[in-house]
Structure 1
């Protein structure tokens, strides 16, 4: 009888070996932050500090800084982190000594490794109906998510923006992992505003998927200038109908005709527009051909209670209004592309609900950044190990494996895809 061929189990023994490298990977940071310590008195090194954060990520019981410090002297914890027991004062003070941006070097290495290993497989399996495959690798969903520290002082109650941070993420749709991240503190205004952060981190040959918070003619023009495209959601009053731009042959540029599939989907308009002062408080117009697609879900009923809102039509039905530079793509494919923006929401959900980043270990900006960067490192390592996304139950089994409660076979059993 022929021997059965083993199926791909997602997490392989090579992946298990990668899990064991979670903590050693931080030892490259051991000498960081010790430049001024000529006497060698510093005992809490950057590598140990970052490793302690990883311990909290893989041990949900240790959800606070006090709990983490109290058990930092346990033998296995000391072996994993490469240091001795630390005090609460040292742990708190270390947040201002170490540079969070050094963790970005590790993040970049893991991102490159993930793309090298998984991109060919992901591109071969990722399909969006009739959307050209060449667009899938370019898709990047953009958004920001607020994280707040628990109020510890009366002053925190008086200032709602104190103890508040925002993680700005650009998530690659094909693998669900962040391509670029940045942490800002305080109000989402000025340089910390979502549009300003994205404008400073634009890359060429990218197709950005943007929510209404990014609607701005200034931002749209900058995306176009760097050689990228976008699909962004607008409000009902944004933009005005414009004449078709002139093509190279001196003829008006025509949009693809609405197909039956687009009409069944609910597309009611596909037209050329220009953006004015109502779009994101921008006083300049769009400096490139801009297309607006309006979709009203057929199943949505009119509601007088919702009339007059920016996201509904005159009858009170929900409207999906998209602006895009993809002028050659059929309207239904543009809508399918925008639906992929949900990947960034799934990423934030994983970060908060699975990795437990709703509760912060520090109230200092640098400490919050280091915790979030360590969480991103964990997310990338899990993606490398498993070959895909991880559920909460699977993450719990990984935690048990690292704590010694589960062996390799029991770990593979949970992560093995169903027959």
Structure 2
């Protein structure tokens, strides 16, 4: 069931402020969000306005009008646009602090200590008023902090690829099957990174150590339900052969049945006849990685952690209407996405604490009027 943020954020602003990490106000100036903040009374009014914009999915003009009604700012919609673009780092810092304070256990992976572990993903989004998908949002996110590292916006027909992202030495990219292609993997490896991607039967051709084609299904069939396995394989790299590991998990009968039903629904929707091999492969989770510092169980656990991030992102889309993109330039899109992540974190913290709030009902309506509060969503 879809959660209505308006119902969850229906009391007062001070309860939200109590959730924010120490030092959040000072960070606004330090990270550039309030560099030209003369028209805001301070970090609180800026944050309140940004959250109103990020969560309500309204236009700049409407946000400015609402904020003026609440006496939060005296700023044009163009001025607010500049503040949004400059606030990404600040919103990201607040989100990261909230994640670190979360009671949910963080991912523990000592073997990868000091390395960025990035979930790469994409999401089809629309401009307000559009009836079909108009843009694709490509992004990488640090899975331990939910800090958005890189965002690109392209036409919706543009495919997913790891080549779209910058790579630093030691980065570990975790991605789903849409990113499992030789060109994207080589892009990461050539820059000194490692990959952990889910693969299907044909997107990433591999060979065994003798040079013969890697027969994936034949090996997978040796596993029992609930069992894991690993095999050495070789991938053609731009600079020669690359040793990789294929790690797999055979789903239980119940899990396999659920996956097959889902696959059939997708096939019916796309009016495609599914091959028997495709149906059989749905009974497994198959990963390929260049990491050599983790055992099979740790590789699968790391991918599962990425999957949890994906579920959180999908839940955030449901909560906040992420299907409608307001910003298409990279700087603005990154700030917009980071703001959405922050609001999602706050909502979940409030739900967990049994608290709710409304963003503009802060001054207990001095004149005693029954003004309608402006909700964050």
Give TM-score, length-normalised by structure 1: 0.58
Q: How far 1:180 moved relative to its partner?
A: 0.5
- Structure 2 Cα separation of the partners of residues 378 and 18 of structure 1: 21
* Residues 232-288 of structure 1, C-alpha deviations (whole Å, 9 max, x = no match): 11111342332179xxxxxxxxxxxx9xxx866333552323259xxxxxxx68642
The answer as to 2:332 corresponding to 1:370 is yes
CA contact 2:111–2:294 (8 Å) conserved in 1: no
Task: Tell me the residue number matched to 1:114.
Answer: 97
Q: How far 1:325 moved relative to its partner?
A: 0.9
The answer as to 2:358 corresponding to 1:400 is yes
Task: Tell me the residue number matched to 1:34.
Answer: none
Task: Tell me the residue number matched to 2:250.
Answer: 296
Give TM-score, length-normalised by structure 2: 0.64
Q: How far 1:99 moved relative to its partner?
A: 8.9
- Structure 2 Cα separation of the partners of residues 13 and 101 of structure 1: 26
Task: Tell me the residue number matched to 2:171.
Answer: 206
Q: How far 1:169 moved relative to its partner?
A: 2.5
- Structure 2 Cα separation of the partners of residues 230 and 310 of structure 1: 26
Structure 1, unmatched stretches of 5+, are 1-10, 32-42, 246-257, 277-283, 407-419
Which of residues 151, 157, 178 in structure 1 aligns to 2:147?
178
CA contact 1:267–1:331 (8 Å) conserved in 2: yes
| Structure 1 residues 222 and 194, CA gap change in structure 2 (3 angstroms) | closer
Q: How far 1:321 moved relative to its partner?
A: 2.0
| Structure 1 residues 380 and 274, CA gap change in structure 2 (3 angstroms) | same
CA contact 1:230–1:325 (8 Å) conserved in 2: yes
Task: Tell me the residue number matched to 2:128.
Answer: 150
| Structure 1 residues 50 and 107, CA gap change in structure 2 (3 angstroms) | closer
CA contact 1:241–1:273 (8 Å) conserved in 2: yes
Q: How far 1:23 moved relative to its partner?
A: 8.1
CA contact 2:162–2:179 (8 Å) conserved in 1: yes
How do 1:316-395 and structure 2 match up within 5 A? 317-327=282-292, 329-360=294-325, 362=326, 365-366=328-329, 370=332, 373-377=335-339, 379-380=341-342, 390-391=348-349, 393=351
RMSD: 4.8
SS in 2 for 1:340: helix
* Residues 206-233 of structure 1, C-alpha deviations (whole Å, 9 max, x = no match): 2221111111222222322333221111
Q: How many residues align?
A: 320
Q: Which has the bigger relative contact order, CA under 8 A and spacing at least 6? A: 2
How do 1:187-198 and structure 2 match up within 5 A? 187-189=156-158, 193-198=160-165
How do 1:197-346 and structure 2 match up within 5 A? 197-198=164-165, 201-237=166-202, 238-243=204-209, 265-267=226-228, 270-275=231-236, 287-299=241-253, 300=256, 308=275, 311-313=278-280, 317-327=282-292, 329-346=294-311
